[in-house]
Amino acid sequence: MVTFPSLIADVCKTEKTIDLVSKAIPVLIRWAQSGITTNTYGDLSQEIGRPRTFMYIGEVLGKVETVLKKLRKNLSQDKIPSLNALVKKTGKSDLPSDGFDFVSKGYENLPIDLKKVVAEAYNQKAIEYKHWDLVLQTLCLQPSIVNSEVDEKLIRSGKHYGSGGEGPQHKALKEYLCSHPESIGIRNVVKRDMEFILLSGDRLDVYFEQKNGTRIAVEVKSKTSADDDILRGIYQCVKYKAILDAENKTHGVFSNTRSVLVVEGSLSESNQQVKDSLGIKVIENFIKG
C-alpha cells in the first residue's frame, strides 16, 4: 500500500498546525463513519484539545481539505469526499460557515435553502464512503477512538449508584424541566411526568408525550454530577430509547421516540466522543429560568 507520511507536514508547515490537522482528520472520519452531521466548530475544537472558542478552527479545516485534495491527486482518486460539511455553525441555520466556499465554490453567495442542499450532498458522500480507514492508513494516522476507561471503571465499580436518593440540585432541575419543556425545545406536550416507570422497571427523570404521539425520555444530570455519572447518563439514554421503542412495538404503536440528556455542566472530551459515537442528543450548560 502506498503511504504519504509527509503529506500533512507538506501542507501545514508548522508543528502546531501539523498536530491539529493530524488530530482533526481522524475525528472527522469517525463522525462520517458514525453518520454524525450535527456537530459544531466548537465540538471539533474541543475534540482536538482546543477551547470551544478556538478562533483558528476554520484554518484547520481548510488544511484538512487541502490534505484531501493532494491525496486525491496523488492517488488519482477523485472519489475521496470532503469532510468539512460535517461541521456546523452554532445557531438556527445549522450549516457550515461561508468558509465552506473553499470546498464548494459559490457556496457563500447561495441562499440558505440551497446551502443546505449543497451541504447535505457533501455529507451524504462522506457518510457513504467505504474507504476512510484506508485514507487514515495512507496518511499514517491512527483512528480516533473513544477513551473513557477511567469513567467506565468507576461505573462498573458500582460504588456511586443505587442508593442514597437524589440531591436537591437534581430534584430542582427535574422539576424545572418537567414544568418548562420548552426550555429544551419540546413543545405541544400533552402528558408529562417525573419518575415515569418504564416496563423494564427503570424510572425516567422526566417523561413527555407530544401531541403527535412522540414519546421523550429525559435524563438529568445536575452541576454536582461527575464525569462518570454523566457517562452513565449517556448510556441510560441509549437504553431508555430502546425500551420506549420496544413498548411501542409490543403495543402496536408507531409513534416516534427520543431521548435527551440535560446537564448543567459541560461534557468532558471523552464523554463528547461517546455522545458523538452513539448519536445521543445532549444539552450542555443548561441554566434554569
Domains of the chain and CATH, by start: 7-138 (no CATH), 149-283 (3.40.1350.10)
pLDDT at residue 115, as a whole number: 96
Q: What region, left, alpha or beta, does residue 110 occupy, with left being phi > 0 and alpha being psi -120 to 50 degrees?
A: beta
pLDDT at residue 161, as a whole number: 54
Return the HEC string of 77-114: CCCCCCCHHHCECCCCCCCCCHHHHHCCCCHHHCCHHH
**Residue whose C-alpha is closest to residue 173's, from 88, 248, 262:** 262
Return the number of other C-beta atoms located less than 10 Å from residue 232's C-beta. Answer: 20
Is the alpha carbon torsion for 85, 86, 92, 98 positive or negative?
negative
pLDDT at residue 277, as a whole number: 86
Tens of pLDDT along the chain (289 residues) come to 789 899 999 999 899 999 999 999 999 999 999 888 989 999 999 889 999 899 999 999 999 999 999 999 998 877 999 999 999 998 767 899 999 999 999 999 999 999 999 999 999 999 999 999 999 999 999 998 877 777 778 777 876 554 445 789 999 999 999 999 999 999 999 999 999 999 999 999 999 999 999 999 999 999 999 999 999 999 999 999 999 999 999 999 899 999 999 999 999 988 988 998 898 999 999 999 8
Cell 438529568: give the residue.
Answer: 220
Edge-to-edge strands, sheet with 189-197: 189-197, 203-210, 215-221, 257-263, 281-283
The β-bridge relationship of strands 281-283 and 215-221 is unpaired
Q: Is 43 helix (H, G, I), strand (E, B) or coil?
A: helix
pLDDT at residue 147, as a whole number: 72
In Å, what is the CA distance from 96 to each residue of 8, 79, 85, 100, 272? 23, 21, 6, 6, 20
Describe the crossing of helices 15-34 and 112-128 by its angle, rounded to 10 degrees.
90
Residue 19 CA from chain centroid, whole number: 22
Return the number of other C-beta atoms located less than 10 Å from residue 28's C-beta. Answer: 26
pLDDT at residue 187, as a whole number: 96
Structure pTM? Answer: 0.65
Q: Is 177 helix (H, G, I), strand (E, B) or coil?
A: helix
pLDDT at residue 235, as a whole number: 97
pLDDT at residue 180, as a whole number: 97
pLDDT at residue 189, as a whole number: 97
